[in-house]
Amino acid sequence: MPDAETIRYRAADKGVPAAVDLLDQTRLPGEVSRLVCTELSELHDAIVRLVVRGAPAIGIAAAYGVTLARADASATPQQVRQSYRDAIDYLATSRPTAVNLFWALDRMRGLVDSVRDEAISELPGQLAAEAARIHEEDRVMCREMGRHGAELLRGCETVLTHCNAGSLATSAYGTALAPIYYLHEHGHSLQVFADETRPLLQGARLTAWELSQAGVPVTVCTDSMAGGLMRRGMVDAVIVGADRIAACGDVANKIGTYPLAVLARYHSIPFFVVAPTNTFDRELESGELIPIEQRDEAEVRHASGHVSGPMTVPQQAAVINPAFDVTPAELVTAIVTEQGVIEKPSAAKIQQHFAGNA
Ligand SMILES: CSC[C@@H](O)[C@@H](O)C(=O)COP(=O)(O)O
C-alpha cells in the first residue's frame, strides 16, 4: 500500500482551526502533494474536484469536514446545532452517487440532533471523535473485505479492475484491491490489469500508482482493450468497487463498469464487486433509481480531463459525461462485503446477508 495516507485530520487546538489534510489525487502520479482544508468550502471543492474520491473516502472526508463548521462564541445551542446542520446539508451537495457520503453525514447529523443544550460545548469534540470512528471502522472493513475476497480469487492468476477502488479510495487497503493486497501479503501475487478509466484515468493514474508502490505487478490497458484481453484468455476475473448498491443487487460504479460485466458474462469470467455494507442503499429497489452524477463536459473534451489539456473533441460536437453506470445484479457473480460473500446477489440474498449479521 502507498505510504501516503489518503486522509488525515488535525483537531482544533489553542486557536489553530481543525484541518482535513488530503492526499491530492488530482496530481498523482506525477506529484505526491497534500491539500489542507480548514474551510468547509475548501473541503466541498476538494470532493467536487476529486482531490479526494472513491465512495468510502468521500464519506470519511465529509465526516471530518463537518467539524470545520464554525459558530460564534456567543451562539446559542440552537444556533450551534444549526451551523453544523447547514454544514452537513452543504457537504451533501458535493457529489450525488456514492451513498457512503450520505451515510457518513447521517451519522454526524445523529450526534448533532441528539446533543442536549447543557452539553453543547462538547459537541465539536464528539463530532471529531465520530468522524475518527468512521475512519477507523473503514480500516477494519477493508481488511475484512480483503480476507473474504481473497477466497474468491485463490484460483486466479490475472484479474482486471476498473477505476480505483484501492487504498486511495478508502482509509487504506481498499475494497476491490483489498483481496489483491491480502493475497500479495500472503505470498500470492496476482497479475493486475488496470483499466485506464476514461475520462479521468483513475485506473492509469491511481490504481497503477498504488499497486506499483506496493510491489504488485500491474499492467495498464485502455478501456477498449478489455474485451480483446478476455478473448485471448488473459483475464481470470474482473473485480471492481461500487458507489451504491440497490436492494436488489444492482451496482452503480465508475462509467465503463457495466460493459465489463457484459464482456465478462460473454467470456464466462466471474465478475466480482467488493463494497462495505454502508455502500448499500436498501431503500432503493432498483439500480435505475440511483442518481448518476453528470460531470463537466471539459473532462471529455480535453486530453487531461481538464481545460488545460489539448482539445480532443471539436467545439461543434456535443459530448456527454455521466460519471457512473449501473450493472444489473444478474451480471454480478458475487458481492463481497466485510461480513462475507453474497453469491448471485438478489433482493432476498441481500436481505438475508443483512439479517444474518444484524
Ligand atoms: C472503493 S471505491 C469504489 C468506487 O467509489 C470507485 O470504483 C469509483 O467508481 C470512484 O469514482 P470516482 O469518480 O473516482 O470517485
What distance in angstroms lies between residue 241's CA and the mean position of ligand 1's atoms?
Answer: 7
Ligand 1 pocket member 169 (CB < 6 A): yes
242 lines ligand 1 (CB under 6 A): yes
**Domain segments of the chain: what residues?**
7-138, 145-356
Tell me if 7-138 shares its fold with 145-356: no
Look at residue 68 in the predicted model and tell me its pLDDT: 97
Which H or E run includes 342? strand 340-343
Torsion sign (Cα): 169, 171, 174, 180: positive
pLDDT at residue 357 in the model: 66
Mutation choice for ligand 1 from 51, 52, 53, CB with most ligand atoms inside 8 A: 53
pLDDT of residue 52: 98
Q: Which residue has the cell 443544550?
A: 117
Q: Return d(Cα 321, Cα 311) in angstroms, integer.
A: 15
Q: What is the pLDDT of residue 307?
A: 87
Residue with cell 473534451: 301
The answer as to CATH 1.10.1510.10 being correct for domain 145-356 is no
C-beta separation of 152 from 336 below 8 A? yes
Low-confidence ranges of the chain (pLDDT < 50): none
What's residue 105's pLDDT?
98
89 in active site: no
CA 336–ligand 1 middle distance (angstroms): 16
Our measurement of the distance from residue 352's CA atom to the centroid of its chain's CA atoms, rounded to an integer in Å, reads 25
Q: Which residues sit in the known binding site for substrate?
A: 53-55, 95, 202, 253-254
N-to-C CA span, the chain? 31
Q: Tell me what ipTM this predicted complex has.
A: 0.99
Q: What is the dihedral of CA 51, 55, 61, 65, to 10 degrees?
A: 100
From the candidate CATH numbers 1.10.1740.10, 1.20.120.420, 1.10.3720.10, 3.30.70.270, the one assigned to the domain spanning 7-138: 1.20.120.420
176 - beta bridge partners?
Answer: none
Q: State if residue 95 touches ligand 1 by the CB under 6 angstroms criterion.
A: no
CA of 89 to the centre of ligand 1 (A): 22
> How far apart (Å, rounded) are the C-alpha atoms in residues 139 and 345?
25
pTM: predicted TM-score of the whole model, two decimal places: 0.97
β strands within 233-312, DSSP E: 237-240, 244-246, 251-254, 271-274, 280-281
pLDDT confidence of residue 72: 84
Which residue ranges make up the annotated binding site? 53-55, 95, 202, 253-254
What is the pLDDT, as a whole number, of residue 358? 60
Q: What is the DSSP secondary structure assignment for residue 189, as one 8-state letter?
A: P
Cell readout for 334 is 458475487
